[in-house]
Amino acid sequence: MTVSAAPSPAPAFELGRVAPFALRPVFVTLRFGLHVLVVGLALFVMIRALLADEASEVPVTVLTVAFLACYGAGVAAAHRNLPQWARVVWLTALLALWVGMSAITPDAAFLAFPLFFLELHVLAAPLAVPLVVLTFGLSVWGTATHLGFAVGTVLGPLISAGVAIVIGLGYRAMAQETKDRQALILDLIATREELAAASREAGTLAERQRIAREIHDTVAQGLSSIQMLLHAAERDIDDRATREKLELARATASDNLAETRRFIRELSPPSLDEQTLPAALRRLAATVDEQASQAGSATRVSYSTSGTPVTLPMAIDATLLRIAQGALANVLRHARATRAELTLSYLGDEVALDIVDDGIGFDPAEVAAADAGIRFGLRAMRERAEREGGTIELESGPGDGTAISVRIPVAAE
């Protein structure tokens, strides 16, 4: 039998179970004490009737056993969180049995005290307090019927009812405060976890930037120096075979320098410093187009946006930017295209990125046998999209160009 009743605050403790509050030991003790008090006083009434050896011992015994059975049934049903009407029915049955006992023996008045607490903990305050007053009146009636009206007949139940109301409502308020504090603690824990996640992410970004700076200042600078030294050596060598070897070594150093710079861009994408994905992609397209022009390539890159732009999580922005970087790098290296189009589309519950070129294309079924750079780049793009819960589709054919479509579900911030 539960103790709380909407919309009133949760009571201090339930009849058969206890909520996981910080003061759980206190509420467990109160619950156990209430059970002991009810059972002990009921047995006291029955034993007193048996020792008196009067005609009332049989009905008192029967009513006491029925009272304890009804009470035990309520305790057993506490975990089911019964509706308020079921709790009212249960309490009505208990009170009816108790009134029957009070009509037979004045000792039944002792049970009024635990009944006060029971009513306050099982029902909401608007119902519990009037019921306590009613129980007080019945207790006075039962005692006066057998012993006559006296100061003790009224004063004892009155003090018991007052104490029960004050303590019961006090613990109800304490339970609500404890519940509110528990909710605050859970909010603080959730906030701490969010801060820890943000700290880890910031640490990861800082480490990536540090590695990018280290690579730039060591490996990239070293490769650049090697390339210049080899170029200088070529001018001083007259032997054609040796010069060809130096040219090959310089070309290899140049290729590795380009790859190293790509790694640096991957680790620390400067384009996202503008804080908007469309601006970063527009800048990327312009940069790649300029690189193609300086390298003598016929490829020209264009960028467009469709839909209403929304602010996306940083992880999705970075994912789409890096996929675009990888795709355009493949276009410049392998596609032999004259045109490449980069399109960002906001589609409500998802964002789409399409990269289309008119290059030589390839057979997707034979991609495993293709150039290692293409194979690795496509796999990396697919892994990035799937990490954000998205998908990537590839359409290509020999002589038909290549189209890559990325779809990532998003929620606007």
Helix (H) and strand (E) counts in the chain: 11, 5
Q: Which domain holds residue 204?
A: 1-268
State residue 411's pLDDT score.
Answer: 67
Same domain, 36 and 128: yes
Same domain, 144 and 247: yes
- Please give the full DSSP string across 297-352, using - where no structure is assigned: ---EEEEEEES------HHHHHHHHHHHHHHHHHIIIII--SEEEEEEEE-SSEEE
Domain count, the chain: 2
Domain boundary among 245, 268, 291: 268
Domain harbouring 318, CATH code: 3.30.565.10
Identify the helix (H) or strand (E) that includes residue 383: helix 372-387
Same domain, 162 and 295: no
Decide if 106 contacts 139 (C-beta within 8 A).
no
State residue 228's pLDDT score.
Answer: 78
List b or e across 46-59, with b for residues whose CB sees 16 or more CB atoms inside 10 angstroms.
bebbeeeeeeebee
361/337 Cα distance (integer angstroms): 9
Same domain, 343 and 324: yes
Domain boundary among 268, 301, 333: 268
Decide if 382 contacts 338 (C-beta within 8 A).
no
Same domain, 284 and 203: no
Question: pLDDT per position in the chain (413 positions), as tens?
Answer: 333 333 333 343 444 444 445 556 766 777 777 778 888 888 888 888 888 766 778 888 888 888 888 888 877 776 677 777 787 888 888 888 888 888 888 888 778 778 777 777 777 767 777 877 787 778 777 777 767 766 666 666 667 666 667 766 676 777 777 777 777 888 788 888 877 877 787 777 777 777 876 777 678 777 777 877 887 788 788 788 888 888 888 888 888 888 887 777 677 554 554 457 888 888 888 888 888 887 778 889 999 999 888 888 877 888 898 889 888 888 888 888 999 999 999 998 899 999 999 989 888 777 644 444 456 677 878 888 898 899 999 998 888 889 999 999 986 44
Query: Which residues neighbour 50 within 8 Å (Cβ) at sequence distance 6 or greater?
Result: 57, 61
Region of 267 (left: φ > 0; alpha: ψ -120 to 50; beta: rest) is alpha
Q: 3-state SS of the chain: helix, strand, coil percent to 5? A: 70, 10, 20
Side-chain-side CA neighbours of 148 within 13 Å: the count stands at: 1
374/162 Cα distance (integer angstroms): 84
Identify the helix (H) or strand (E) that includes residue 71: helix 57-76
Same domain, 245 and 274: no
Same domain, 361 and 242: no
Chain length of the chain = 413
**Residue 353 corresponds to which amino acid?**
L
Same domain, 264 and 274: no
- The DSSP secondary-structure symbol of 10 reads P
Compute CA distances 85 → 26, 67, 90, 98, whole Å. 28, 19, 9, 20
73/167 Cα distance (integer angstroms): 25
Among candidate residues 244, 249, 256, 252, the one with its CA nearest the CA of residue 230: 249
Same domain, 292 and 260: no
State residue 288's pLDDT score.
Answer: 85
Same domain, 174 and 241: yes
Q: What are phi and psi of 40, to 5 degrees?
A: -65, -45
Same domain, 239 and 295: no
Domain boundary among 201, 235, 268: 268
**Residue 386 corresponds to which amino acid?**
E
Helix (H, G, I), strand (E, B) or coil at 405: strand
Same domain, 62 and 172: yes
**Residue 159 corresponds to which amino acid?**
I
